[in-house]
Amino acid sequence: MAAVTRLIPGRTVLFVCDIQTRFRTFVHGFDHVVATGTKMFKLAKVLDLPVIVTEQNPRALGSTVPELNTAPLGDLFLGAYEKTVFSMAIPPVIEQLKKHDFKSVILFGIESHVCVLQSALDLLEQGYDVHVLADGVSSTRKEEVPIAIERMRRAGAQITTSESAAFELQVDANKPNFKFFSRIIKEEGDNTTKALEGLVTSYSKL
């Protein structure tokens, strides 16, 4: 029987890949990617899920969009790292993974066929479990996305959704935080549906 790859509460980190201001006008479904991100930030606080952000050449491509405000995360925010290589698996980020003994990475952002893909491949190669949010990745050309997702899947990444990943980390409805968790899931219901319809559904039809 093949080994089952699951998200591990307490050993999972959220990776936010290059969701920057200059991409807003030309990445397919950009607002849906941002909406998934804001939901994951809210859930991160409830789930005690650490967050790492990267920015690709921010002098040219701008900073992370203001909707993804890391201030409310407090100590859960482990830093924003500038990079010129496409992968998020740069030395200071890998240092954070080792320092906190993370095993699982939840990955979302842009572009699916460049920075997200190369991040997933590098992390898998280094022995981390990678869970890609299908309702949180996109590219300038939407036709690139299903190809990138399929390549990541074949390489060993788990393709999931934001809500599925969140429930996997929550584990139990009897936990004290479930009231707050379920409230966020309900409040974000419309945005979740729109992201699934605008991103995942459109890719599946290609």
**Does the residue 205 lie in any domain?**
no
**Does the residue 157 lie in any domain?**
yes
Structural domain of 147: 10-200
Place of tokens 């190669």: 125
**pLDDT for the residue numbered 140:** 96
Q: Could you tell me whether strands 12-17 and 104-110 are parallel, antiparallel, or unpaired per DSSP bridges?
A: parallel
Annotation marks residue 18 as catalytic: yes
Q: How far apart are the two ends of the chain, measured CA to CA in Å?
A: 32
In this predicted model, what pLDDT tens digit does every residue of 37-91 receive, in sequence order?
999 999 999 999 999 999 999 999 999 999 999 999 999 999 999 999 999 999 9
In this predicted model, what pLDDT tens digit does every residue of 11-24 receive, in sequence order?
999 999 999 999 99
108 and 17 Cβ atoms separated by less than 8 Å: yes
> Half-sphere exposure of 177 toward its Cβ, with a 13 Å CA cutoff?
16
pLDDT over 70 for what percent of the chain? 96
**pLDDT for the residue numbered 11:** 96
Annotation marks residue 135 as catalytic: no
Q: Catalytic one among 17, 18, 39, 135? A: 18
pTM for the model: 0.95
Q: Is the pLDDT of residue 206 over 80?
A: no
Structure confidence at residue 27 as a pLDDT band (50, 70, 90): very high
**Does the residue 1 lie in any domain?**
no
**pLDDT for the residue numbered 204:** 59
**Does the residue 162 lie in any domain?**
yes
Annotation marks residue 115 as catalytic: yes
Q: Catalytic one among 115, 122, 129, 142? A: 115
**Does the residue 4 lie in any domain?**
no
Structure confidence at residue 133 as a pLDDT band (50, 70, 90): very high
How far apart are alpha carbons 25 and 75 in whole angstroms? 32
Place of tokens 């990475």: 105
Residue of 49, 58, 54 lying closest to 165 (CA atoms): 49
Q: Is the pLDDT of residue 193 over 90?
A: yes
Q: Is the pLDDT of residue 1 over 70?
A: no
Question: How many domains, in total, are found in the chain?
Answer: 1
159 and 188 Cβ atoms separated by less than 8 Å: no
Q: Catalytic one among 39, 42, 83, 142? A: 83
Q: Is the pLDDT of residue 203 over 70?
A: no
How many angstroms separate the Cα of 7 from the Cα of each of 21, 52, 69, 79, 173? 30, 17, 24, 22, 17
**Average pLDDT, rounded, for the chain:** 95
Angle at 53 between CA 49 and CA 54, to 5 degrees: 155
| CATH code at position 110 | 3.40.50.850
**Does the residue 2 lie in any domain?**
no
Q: Could you tell me whether strands 77-83 and 12-17 are parallel, antiparallel, or unpaired per DSSP bridges?
A: unpaired
Residue 179 token pair: 């009231």
**Does the residue 5 lie in any domain?**
no
